[in-house]
Structure formats: structure tokens, C-alpha cells
Amino acid sequence: MGKYEELFQYIERNRSRYVDWAMRLISVPSVSTYGTGLDECADLVAEMMEDVGVRAEKFSNPEGGGPIVVGTHNAEAHATLMFYNHYDVQPAEPLEKWTTPPFAPAVRGGLLYGRGAADNKGNIAARLAAVDALNNVLGEIPVNLKFFVEGGEEVGSPGLEKFAQTHRDKLFADGCVWEYGYRNKSGAPVVYFGLKGMLYVEVEASGPGKEVHSSWGAAVENPAWRLIHALSTIRRPDGRVAVEGFYDDVVYEGEELLAQVDIEDFSPPHKLLKAAQQNPLKNLLLEPTVNINGIISGYVGPGSKTIIPPSASAKLDFRLVPKQKPEKIFQSFVDHLKKNGFDDLNVKMLQAYPAARTNPSNFMPKLVTETAKEAYGIDPVAIPSGAASGPMYVVTDVLGIPCVSTGCGYYGSSVHGPDENIRINDFVANIKHIALIMLNFHRYMHLG
Amino acid sequence: MGKYEELFQYIERNRSRYVDWAMRLISVPSVSTYGTGLDECADLVAEMMEDVGVRAEKFSNPEGGGPIVVGTHNAEAHATLMFYNHYDVQPAEPLEKWTTPPFAPAVRGGLLYGRGAADNKGNIAARLAAVDALNNVLGEIPVNLKFFVEGGEEVGSPGLEKFAQTHRDKLFADGCVWEYGYRNKSGAPVVYFGLKGMLYVEVEASGPGKEVHSSWGAAVENPAWRLIHALSTIRRPDGRVAVEGFYDDVVYEGEELLAQVDIEDFSPPHKLLKAAQQNPLKNLLLEPTVNINGIISGYVGPGSKTIIPPSASAKLDFRLVPKQKPEKIFQSFVDHLKKNGFDDLNVKMLQAYPAARTNPSNFMPKLVTETAKEAYGIDPVAIPSGAASGPMYVVTDVLGIPCVSTGCGYYGSSVHGPDENIRINDFVANIKHIALIMLNFHRYMHLG
């Protein structure tokens, strides 16, 4: 009988109960973009914390996003482990692309479907399940716990930094496990030591303000043309960002860790990676970039309609790496438009936060990767920085806590897309992993 | 008492009856883009023709668009006057921009509102009203009449050319009055001796096919970027079309006629004409161009969502001048994309027809401009070619009939836009003008 056999068996026996916890959370349509269901979901998170013996406090967030829920379990230990999560989710549109409704969680063929299954409600459930399992098997948790759960991550975590600054004592911890992680196609859990930063902007070209017959296009400026010409100047066809100064502060570190990563393990599949992308893995994990999330102008219904559009707008996200300052990049972007003759465009900053990374030699990376092997039975893949973004800098830079990310998703989780899902076996393995992190935290911390 | 006093008084006395005719037509939502209400509207047009003594025949159109209605009045004269019109309209979206519903015609402050008021149902009503007035005042129409009314103009007149080719005898005429015309801000009716041609294309960049988390944007090709980079190569920021060979066949004629035209008379107002446009009038009336009618990709709702869009598409119309062949321009466009590395884009041709012009020295321009002065009490403005497009080449080139356009709209008619409207006084003046064209046709034709 293995070292953790009793614990693992308990978790296995309770898998359907823990899946129900995830489903309860998914059932609340807490879409921060629309501001719906946030209070309700915060209350549910607090209630579920209390149910496993974690004391929950709810703080309203005057800057937007849902209330922040802080959970505390005081084990009178000399080590405190934090979990960062968020209970808000991305909008579920397009709804017609879902096999079953996004907020009616459903289990099919060993998969749990629903908006938030992977990002991030499955992870909240898994972490509370680990607390439950340790309490029931050991009768205690051998480490102090802090749950730091927000409701505005998908809209740029408004107020999170300020909350951290004004609640330093309450948020004291020695190490933090970030919100998410995925298993790759080889079955290895992927562990992230960092995340990219984010600058999300909306650019609008104003036009005639109402639809004008398109025969006037020969003489009247068309806002869609204006926007297209402006956007075409900010990124080269090869993917390189053409905004002056964009790469000035970029420092390349951690490239040696990429050797153990196989691009084919990721989703979306390899075929999407165009030949033009010389080094997709480096681009994905270490390079900053700019992406178009959406663009809209004029008539987009069936067939033909001949108009000059009233206006045109696009949403862009810049993914930033450490040392790039989002406010400085935003200013470079505005200056770039001006220099290229597009100062008539209206630019709005919707999200802005820097990247974050924890040094691989810190105890947290060691703790999380070494326990992963025991929980999953396979070596994890360690990545210096994920491709995605999140306000990890609030933990690493504002609170000064080393931080590593791991979670219950997999390469097919369709995060932010239709039919978001997790594999229940991964969910169970992740509960085991989180329990082992709690069990071993104190020892690793003091090993250094 | 003036020469046409009795006729004009009869028209004035019956103005509300004639406005009712226009309202009857507007009430039928005959949107060819959606294929709705077309049969119903064709039947109504035929019924209204018969009501004024014009024999109506309805021909189904196997190539799409609504049925073609041909109206014939045989006066046993040695001169035949044709009227070309269309009973289909543009989609009315965005519906929320209308003060009253687009297909519930409404009179407010001397204006008649409704989709099709100016384009083109008001004109159908005005022409039938002129027949009614002459019949009632003179007891006869001193010219043979042909009404050539289609139901697919707004979707590129599918089948119209073929119908003309196979019904040459039925469509015999000595001159034609085209569908529309507008009064400018000085009150002068604007008369067009030609129209631009049209090439309407849809361009699509395929992407991952479903939404993918935008962190992948660092490595996976984004279809919105692809489309933007492709489109940015086909038109220079100064408005010049950058497709190789686009201007090869362009011949500049009729520029001398522009001297009498004032750009400020047009709608949309002059302020929309950017300083960059060196010669807006020449661009508008004599230059070919390319316009974006709409572009759509990814998430366009409120706030931020971070995805790579599944695909991206745009609708473009090229406005052509005489001698430019739409099929050749389409091929140049496809070749251009290929040469610039965008042969993965999917290109679809939705409409294609050439430009048309009638020589100013022909009897039709003389007839229409000279009678305009008598009907409106003000000199008309004659324009070598309108900025808009239409299948006028079917009349001028396929059937060989000289053709001039005049109608009941004005600079504020908001054609193709929300709150489309005509001024009832213009509508009445146009009925008088059409009646004078019928009265004087035979004489002008034989003068040459």
C-alpha cells in the first residue's frame, strides 16, 4: 500500500460528490463581461468554503467585477499556502455551438461540460475537495490556508491590485498555487511558473454616423477602410508587432525549459500552426504578441447591401512578457497611430496588467512539480511562462509571494470556447495533487 | 393659364390619392436580399398597372430575384417610351434606427417615410400617376408605353440580361426613363445620363473554425489579421485602388458637364468629404472605386473576450465606369490576392454588371432636361453618370435604347438607410415631369 493510498482511495470514492460541487458552481451564470450572477456565485463559493471548514469573508469590489471572497483556515502552522481562483467566466456565446446549454452542466462519456468547467470553477471545486479529503482522512490540514477568489478575472481583474495593497495582512502567505493547468496529449500535467501580461484595447473609427449609400464611397471616407489601414500597420504579416518600442524591454529567459515541451501536446492541434511561424513554441510561451479578438463594421447579414458603414471597431489584446509595462505599451500604440496618420481613431484601454514569473529554483516550482509526479504517476512538464494571461503579478509582485499554476483541465478543454469541458479522471487526479501540495508545503518551504 | 395648367391642377388635386399608391407599394416588405414579399409585390404592381389601363404580364425569373412585370400600353403611336423600375428594396436593418417601422409607411411634415419611398416604389407610383392624370385630363396617352419592372435590382438583377435577350420584341422601345433621380439643395432636379457598374464580392479568411483562446494568437494564424492584411493591399489610404490593371480600361469623358454641379448640393453633407479627397465630384461621378460594406470577425459584444476568431469575412463593392469589364476586374482582384500571398482566402462574386452611359446629344437627354424645367420651374442639373450603380446596360447595351434617369427623391432621402423618405412636393413635381415626358416624347424623338 502506497504512502498516500488511503487518501487517494478516499478521493476516488467521493469523485461523484466532488463532481457535483463543480456542477453547482457551473450552474451559476457568473459572466463578468455582462455583470450577471456574480453576487450569487460569490455567496456560493463562500458557502462551499464554510462547508469544508474554511472561514469565508466576502468583500465588495467598488471597481467592478464580483465580490472578492477570502477563505482562511488557520492550522496554527508556521507555513501558509494560498490558492488564487476566480469564479467569473467568459461569455458563452455563440450559444448555438454548444451541444448542451453552457450553464446546465452535463456529464457525457467521462467528461464534464459547462462554461467554467476548466476555467475556473472545476479548479475551485478540486481545491475544496482536497481540503475535504484531508480533513476526513487525516482529521486535519497540516498547513494554514488562504483562498483568494475573485469575480472579475475575465474582465481584467478590476480592483484586485488595490484590494491586495489594502489587505496585505489578510493575504499573507508563503507560496501560492495559481488558478489553472492542463494535461497534455501524453498525459503529463503542465505546470506554469509564470503568465503573460495583458493589454486589451478597443479601437474605433468613426464614420458618417449612419448608413450612407455606398456609391458615396468614391468620395467619402469609409471608417472600415480607415480601421483596416490603421490595423494593418500595427502587425506585420509574419506576426511581428510593428509598434515602435514594443520589444524594447523584452528580456528572453527560460528558453532552456522549452526543450522538454512538445508543441503537438497542445490544443489547438498542430495543423493550425502555419509554416510561417518559425518557432511556435517560443512565440507561444516567451514572445509578446498582438491578437484581434473581433472586428465589426457595417452590413454583415446574408447577401449584399451597399452602404458606407456608420463606424468600425475592433478589439485587440496584446500579450506581454516580463519587463513590458502595459501603460507604456498603450502609449506606444497611441503614438504609433498618431505617427501613421490615424489620430482620428478612438482608442480605449479595457484591461492592462503586467506579466509575472517565479524563478524555477524557488521551493514552489519544486513542490508543485515533484508532487505532480506522485499524483499523476507521470513527470509533469514545467513551463517558464504560460501563453495565457492573468493577474498573477498581484500575487508575485504586489504581495511578493512565489506562485505556480496547476489545475484540472486538459488539451481539449475548449477554454473560452463552446463545449468547454474537463475529463473527470483529470479532475480527480488534480484533487490528489492539490492534497499532496497541502501535505508537503511546510517541508518544501523549510527545505528552501 | 399655362400650357399644362389643367394637367398640373389635376395632379395637385389628386396628390393624396397618388401618395396612397406609393404607400400601398411600401407596405409590402419585398426585400430581395431575403427573398421575401417579392411575388406579392409583383402582383400588386401588375394590379396597379391594370388599374390605370396598362396591360400587365408577369414573368417568373428562374435565376432569382422576384418576377419581372412588363406593362404595355399601345397608343398606336410611332413612338414607344419605356420606364425601367424595380419593386424590390434593400434590407431595412438596423430596424432600431427607424422612427416608424420601415414597412408601415407614414407621412410626417410633408415627408413620406418608408423603405422604398425613394428607391424605388415612389417612382413606380409617380409613373402610374402620370398615366392616370393624362388619361383623365386628355382622355389618352399620346405615346406607346412599356413598363419594365424587375424584383431583383438590389441583389444585382439576376436574370435581367437574359430576359431582355429573350424578349427583345416585347421590350422594343425608342427611349427609356430610368428608375430614379433626386432634387439637390438648390431645388434643381438632377438628371443622370449614365450609371456606374458594379462588382460585389465577399472575401473570407478561414481560421480555426471555432473560437480558440487568444493566448494562442502568438503562434496560430488569426483569420482577422489575414483578412485585414489582404484588404489593406487592395486600396491605398488615399482611395486609389491598388489592384493591378484596375484602371487599364478607364476612359475619362464628360468631365466638362461637372462644371454646373455643386458638391454641396448632395447628401451626405459636404463635411464628410475629407480634405484628402482632392476632387470629390470627379471621384464621385467619373472615377471607379472600391468600398467596404461590412466586415465581421470574432467577438463584437460588450467588453472584452479573448479569442482567436473562427473566421473573418468582408463584403466589398467595386463601382465601375464605362469600358471596365466586371469579370475582368474580378479576375484581377483574385490574381492580386494570389500575387500578394493571400490565395488561401475564399472569394465569391455576388453581383457583376458593367457601367452604362447615353450620349448627351441624344434626344432623350434633351427631352428629359427640357421638360424638367417646365415641371419644376428650375433648370435641372445634368450629370454624365451617377455615382450609383444599376443594370442600365441591359437597356442601353443589350436592348440598344437610349436611357436617362430622373425621379422623385431629394438629397435627404436616406436611400438604403434608416428613415428613407421623399418630400411629397417633389413626388408631385415628378408626376408632372413624367407626364410631360410622355406628352412630348414623340416630338423630341422625331426632332432627333
Where a domain ends, among B353, B374, B405? B353
Its sign, for the CA torsion A169, A173, A174, A176, is negative
Q: Does A277 touch chain B (CB under 8 A)?
A: yes
Tell whether A22 and A152 lie within a shared domain: yes
> B353, B383, B408: which is the final residue of a domain?
B353
**A-contacting residues in B 31-60 (Cβ below 8 Å):** 33-34
Do residues B62 and B88 share a domain?
A: yes
Q: Which parts of chain A have pLDDT scores under 50?
A: 1, 275-276
CB pairs under 8 A between A and B: 300
Are B219 and A418 a contacting pair at CB < 8 A?
A: no
| Residue A263 lies inside a defined structural domain of this protein | no
* Cis bond before residue B360 (omega within 30° of 0): no
* Separation between Cα atoms, residue A219 and residue B200, nearest integer Å: 18
Provide the shortest C-alpha distance from residue B147 to chain A (in Å).
Answer: 26
**If DSSP codes are grouped into helix, strand and coil, which group holds residue B346?**
strand
Say if residue A129 is in the same domain as residue A207. no
User: Is residue B281 a part of any domain in this protein?
Assistant: no
Tell whether A167 is covered by a domain.
yes
Neighboring chain B residues of A308 at a CB cutoff of 8 Å: 291, 293
**Interface contact B339, partner A, CB < 8 A:** no
Task: Give the CATH number for residue A319.
Answer: 3.30.70.360
Which residues from A are below 8 Å from B263, CB to CB? Answer: 219
Three-class secondary structure assignment of chain A = CCCCHHHHHHHHHCHHHHHHHHHHHHCCCCECCCCECHHHHHHHHHHHHHHCCCEEEEECCCCCCEEEEEEEECCCCCCEEEEEEECCECCCCCHHHCCCCCCCCEEECCEEECCCHHHHHHHHHHHHHHHHHHHHHHCCCCCEEEEEEEECHHHCCCCHHHHHHHCCCCCCCCEEEECCCEECCCCCEEEECEEEEEEEEEEEEECCCCCEEHHHHHCCCCHHHHHHHHHHCCECCCCCECCCCCCCCCCCCCHHHHHHCCHHHCCCCHHHCCCCCCCHHHHHHHCCEEEEEEEEEECCCCCCCCEECCEEEEEEEEEECCCCCHHHHHHHHHHHHHHCCCCCCEEEEEEEECCEECCCCCHHHHHHHHHHHHHHCCCCEEECCCCCECCCHHHHHHCCCCEEECCCEECCCCCCCCCCEEEHHHHHHHHHHHHHHHHHHHHHHHHC
- Interface check for A270 against chain B (CB to CB < 8 A): the answer is no
Cell numbers for A345, please give them. 481613431
d(CA B179, CA B177): 7
Of B208, B351, B417, the CB nearest to A272: B208
- Which of A217, A276, A418 has its CB closest to that of B291? A217
Q: Find which of B34, B99, B214, B414 to mutate to test the A interface (most A CBs within 10 Å of its CB).
A: B214
Same domain, A125 and A242: no
Give the number of other Cβ atoms within 10 Å of residue B70's Cβ. 22
Of A308, A333, A353, which closes a domain? A353
SS3 B94: coil
Asked whether residue B219 falls in the same domain as residue B308, the answer is: yes
Any chain B CB within 8 A of the CB of A298?
A: yes
Burial group, residue B282, by CB count within 10 angstroms (0-12, 13-18, 19+): middle
In this structure, are strands A182-183 and A409-410 parallel, antiparallel, or unpaired? parallel
- Chain B residues within an 8 Å CB radius of A415: 213
**Residue B86: CATH number of its domain:** 3.40.630.10
Same domain, A317 and A368: no
- B204 and B159 in a common domain: no
Q: Is B290 on the interface with A (CB under 8 A)?
A: yes
A8 to chain B nearest CA, in Å?
A: 33
Please report the pLDDT score of residue A285 as a whole number.
86
Q: State the total domains in chain A.
A: 2
Return the closest-CA partner of residue A322 out of A354, A291, A352: A354
Q: Does B258 touch chain A (CB under 8 A)?
A: no
Which pLDDT belongs to residue A252?
A: 78
Cβ-contact A214, B415 below 8 angstroms = no
User: Nearest Cα to B41, choosing from B157, B114, B124?
Assistant: B124
- Domain match, A161 and A40 both: yes
Residue B276 lies in a domain: no
B347 found inside a domain: yes
Residue at A340 is within a domain: yes
Range of the domain at B418: 5-195+355-447
Q: b vs e for B75-85, b when ≥16 Cβ sit within 10 Å of the residue's Cβ?
A: bebebbbbbbb
**Yes or no, beta carbons of A33 and B273 under 8 Å apart:** no
Same domain, A75 and A182: yes
**Whether residue B218 is found in the same domain as residue B186:** no
SS3 state of residue B308: strand
Q: What is the pLDDT of residue B267?
A: 59
pLDDT for A388 equals 86
A 10 A CB-CB count for B95 gives 10
Q: How far is A135 from chain B (nearest CA, A)?
A: 37
Kindly state whether residues B336 and B401 are assigned to the same domain: no
Which three cell numbers, joined as nine digits, stand for A75? Answer: 492550522
Find, in chain A, the residue whose alpha carbon is nearest to that of B263. Answer: A219
Tens of each residue's pLDDT in chain B, 448 residues: 467 999 999 999 999 999 999 999 999 999 999 999 999 999 999 999 999 999 999 999 999 889 999 999 999 999 999 999 999 999 999 899 999 999 999 999 999 999 999 999 999 999 999 999 999 999 999 999 999 999 999 988 999 999 999 999 999 999 999 999 999 988 999 999 999 999 999 999 998 888 888 888 888 889 999 999 999 999 998 889 999 999 999 987 777 778 777 777 665 555 666 544 667 888 888 899 999 999 999 999 998 889 999 999 999 999 999 999 999 999 999 999 999 999 999 999 998 999 999 988 899 999 999 999 999 999 999 988 888 888 999 999 999 999 999 999 999 999 989 999 999 999 999 999 999 999 999 999 998 6
Chain A residues whose beta carbon lies within 8 Å of the beta carbon of residue B341: 237
Please give the helix or strand (H or E) that residue B230 lies within, else none.
Answer: helix B223-232
B263 assigned to some structural domain = no
Provide the residue count of chain A: 448
Question: Residues A219, A292: one domain?
Answer: yes
Asked if residue B139 belongs to a domain, the reply is: yes
Q: Which of residues 367-386 of A touch B (CB under 8 A)?
A: 386
Contact B292 A225 (CB under 8 A): yes
Smallest CA–CA distance, residue A442 to chain B, in Å, is: 34
CB-CB contact of A126 with A430 (8 Å): yes
CB nearest B213 (choices: A273, A306, A416): A416
Q: Do B295 and A306 touch (CB under 8 A)?
A: no
Interface contact flag, A298 B315, Cβ < 8 Å: yes
Nearest-Cα distance to chain A for B308, in Å, is: 6
